[in-house]
């Protein structure tokens, strides 16, 4: 299964659906966050380097590149992130300079991806994306 491709927001799902999607890799304790406004995700893979682009609205895009198990630095060194992969689940754990932990999990199947962001505000939220074929 290739994760490369473009995924468009489909709908927001509830916590039980997300837990079913990721299996036993993540516990309920570390699945907290909020529902994002990201409308499009683009994944690409080349030479073991993953690139994730998130588009918010028509003008703003954020792109990160990472290798599984290798820490990478975002921005001006404010955030250090390490990526792990468990079968079809990617877990990106970031630590900010002030010690805040942010988790982003991406659970894939053949044509869909479920996303959860953890910003430590105690709310559970995730988005459900469908892969587009052009």
Q: How big is the CA angle at 55 (ends 123 and 73), to the nearest 5 degrees?
A: 75
Q: CA-to-CA distance for 113 and 129, rounded, in angstroms?
A: 5
Residue 124 has pLDDT above 60, yes or no: no
- The pTM (predicted TM-score) of the whole model is 0.66
Calculated CA dihedral for residues 50, 12, 131, 29, nearest 10 degrees? 30
Burial tier of 9 (Cβ tally within 10 Å: 0-12, 13-18, 19+) = middle
pLDDT tens-digit series, residues 19-53: 565 555 555 444 433 344 556 788 899 888 888 88
Q: Are 115 and 38 in contact (CB under 8 A)?
A: yes
CA distance 49 to 65: 7
For 5-132, give the CATH class.
mainly beta
Higher pLDDT: 117 or 68? It is 68
């Amino acid at each position: 299964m290739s994760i490369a491709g473009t995924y468009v927001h489909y709908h927001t799902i509830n916590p039980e659906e997300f837990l079913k999607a990721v299996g036993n890799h993540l516990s309920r304790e570390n699945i907290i966050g909020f529902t994002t406004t990201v409308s499009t995700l683009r994944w690409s893979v080349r030479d073991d380097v993953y690139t994730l682009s998130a588009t918010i609205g028509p003008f703003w895009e954020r792109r990160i590149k990472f290798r599984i198990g290798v820490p990478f630095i975002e921005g001006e060194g404010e955030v250090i992130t390490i990526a792990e992969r468990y079968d079809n689940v990617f877990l990106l754990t970031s630590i900010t300079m002030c010690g805040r932990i942010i988790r982003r999990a991406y659970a894939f199947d053949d044509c869909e991806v479920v996303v959860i962001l953890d910003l430590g505000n105690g709310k559970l939220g995730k988005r459900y994306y469908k892969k587009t074929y052009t």
